[in-house]
Structure 1
Amino acid sequence: MQVEVHIVNAFTQQGKGGNPAAIVLDADNLSISQKQEIAAKAGLSETAFVSSSSIADIKLEFFTPTRQIAHCGHATIATFAYLKQRGTITQVTQATKETIDGIRQIRFLQDAVYMEQKAPHYTFPEANDLPIIYQSLGLSQYYTLKPALVNTGNTFLILEAPEISVLQHIVPNFEKIAAISEKYNLVGYYVFAKSQQAGIDATTRMFAPLYGIEEESATGMAAGPLAAFLYHSGRRRKEYMIEQGRYMKQPSPSLIHINLDIKDDQIQLLYAGGQATLVEKYTIEI
């Protein structure tokens, strides 16, 4: 069987950079094992499979090269932007997606797409795991930095590096990161530093070896937890601009915009969004 795959870069800046997602349309008749095989052959951090839904505009399922994942920010943005550009989705301002754990809202604003994430839930790693976490990033000398585990749909370990140069020169130990990720049911680590660029709140790096992703250039489902972390750590505003991908081996700077819905000083939900650009199409044999 031949399956057509569409590659769309999400969270681009003026059509450049971003994070590529593979998209498979009309996936209703594909089995779970076939979807996993396609995702492995596509070889990108996530592949999105679009199926019909009786409760939302479309059903979306996400697979990394090694396993299924509940939500994926950049693949969601890529899929809805592409379907809007094709005319498959005709709604002007909003749509919905069905996922394996419920319905999420999608908003359209000019040429950008925004996806809903839940109110954040916080936990913290055990004290005896902190040295392992720091060592897994080569940050053993920065024990005063306290990571948090933040979930807005997926759980990420959020950790602030003391400055950009430290973030830039992180040397990840993927075996240790995977072990911590498995213990705490994390997708991965989202490490950030205060940006030196005007208009950008944080520059970030994301490592998710447990899911077959060594490093990713844009992670919408991690940018949401980071924005919540920034808000609750005193850097309070309703909008954040987060950059990612600048310090990868092959740089691909990406821009993620976060909007927070605040009531009584608490985050009720949030939206992560950005632009997306079609890169190529090809077929995979399964």
Structure 2
Amino acid sequence: MRVQVRIVNAFVDGKQGGNPAGVVLQADGLDAQQKQAIAAQVGVSETAFVSSSSSAAFKLEFFTPNRQIAHCGHATVATFSLLRQLGQVDEGWSSKETLDGNRDILIQADMAFMEQRAPEYCDLDDDPALLADILAALGTDPGHLLPGLRPVRVSTGGAFVVAPLVDEAQVHVLQPDQAALARISEQLELIGFYVFSPQARKPGRAAGARMFAPRYGIAEEAATGMAAGPLACFLHDRMQVPGARLLIEQGYLMQPPSPRVITVDLQLADGRIERLLAGGRAQTMHELSLEI
């Protein structure tokens, strides 16, 4: 059987960069083992498989090269941008069915946004040994944290440890212990670690970040919508960064650099985050034909 896979770069910054996702349309006839084999062959951080749904507009399943994952931000943006380009969705609201429920999707001009839930925080200060392990695994220490702040486990549908460092230089020099991060990820049931500073390359952006997810076979991700949501919540709730729309840079500090920008719209009620939409622009790059 031959399968067509489109490679779509999500969260492009202007016409630069973007995080590549595989997208397989009309995937109803594929089983989980075949999907995992395709994702491994494609070799990008996540591949999305699109099939019919009885409860949403589309069913989306996401596979990294080594396992299935409930949600993926950049692959969602890539998928719905592609569907829009092919005329299979209109501007306005749509939806996706996922492993743990349905999520709203908003198509707005040339941008696609996905819903995430209100944040749930788990502070790590009450376990000094765990906090020390996290910092050591990331390759940093308490002296490089933003004053008055500590890493926090944040979930808006997928959990990340959000780690605030004092400046871009400290984020840039990180050389994490991937095996240690994978072990801690299993312990805390994390997708990964989102390390950031308030410094960004372009004006009007709230943070510059890097993301590590070795539990899912991803040493470093170039742009991560599911992590940008928790970070935006952290910026709003813990750092009092103003505004309901926050822009997060990612990919600038990778080698080689590949600029990405993720837009997060916080939906607030009396100053509290009720839910959020994370999204951006995407560009279809090329197609693969795989034999399975």
TM-score tier (shorter) = over 0.9
**Residue in 2 that maps onto 1:157:** 161
Of 160, 166, 170, the match for 1:166: 170
TM-score calculated relative to the size of structure 1: 0.97
**Residue in 2 that maps onto 1:2:** 2
CA contact (8 A) 1:134 1:142 kept: no
**Residue in 2 that maps onto 1:261:** 267
Counterpart-to-counterpart distance in 1, 2:256 and 2:99? 33
**Residue in 1 that maps onto 2:105:** 106
Q: CA deviation at 1:204?
A: 0.3
Counterpart-to-counterpart distance in 2, 1:143 and 1:6? 41
Q: CA deviation at 1:143?
A: 7.0
**Residue in 1 that maps onto 2:20:** 20
Pairwise mapping of residues 42-57 of structure 1 onto structure 2 (< 5 A)? 42-57=42-57
Q: RMSD value over aligned CA atoms? A: 1.1
**Residue in 1 that maps onto 2:74:** 74
**Residue in 1 that maps onto 2:128:** 127
Deviations 1:1-54 (A, max 9, x none): 111110000000223201000001111011111111111111111000000011
Deviations 1:144-200 (A, max 9, x none): 551000001100000011111111111111011111111000000000001243111
Deviations 1:193-232 (A, max 9, x none): 0124311110000000110000011000000000000111
Deviates more, 1:204-213 or 1:130-139: 130-139
Q: CA deviation at 1:237?
A: 2.1
CA contact (8 A) 2:91 2:109 kept: no
Deviates more, 1:21-30 or 1:134-143: 134-143
CA contact (8 A) 1:203 1:244 kept: yes
Deviates more, 1:228-237 or 1:109-118: 228-237
Deviates more, 1:71-80 or 1:194-203: 194-203
**2:68 counterpart of 1:65:** no
Number of equivalent positions = 285
**2:152 counterpart of 1:148:** yes
- Which amino acid letter does the alignment assign opposite residue 200 of structure 1? R
Deviates more, 1:76-85 or 1:97-106: 97-106
Deviates more, 1:91-100 or 1:76-85: 91-100
Counterpart-to-counterpart distance in 2, 1:26 and 1:230? 38
User: Partner of 2:133: helix, strand, or coil?
Assistant: helix
Counterpart-to-counterpart distance in 1, 2:91 and 2:150? 42
**Residue in 1 that maps onto 2:247:** 241
- Which amino acid letter does the alignment assign opposite residue 176 of structure 2? P
Q: CA deviation at 1:284?
A: 1.3
CA contact (8 A) 2:144 2:166 kept: no
Of 249, 268, 277, the match for 1:271: 277
Deviations 1:214-270 (A, max 9, x none): 001100000000000011112232110000011112211100000001012210000
Counterpart-to-counterpart distance in 2, 1:191 and 1:225? 11
- Which amino acid letter does the alignment assign opposite residue 141 of structure 2? S
Same amino acid, percent of matched pairs? 48
**Residue in 1 that maps onto 2:258:** 252
- Which amino acid letter does the alignment assign opposite residue 130 of structure 2? D
Structure 2 unmatched ranges of 5 or more: none
**Residue in 2 that maps onto 1:222:** 227
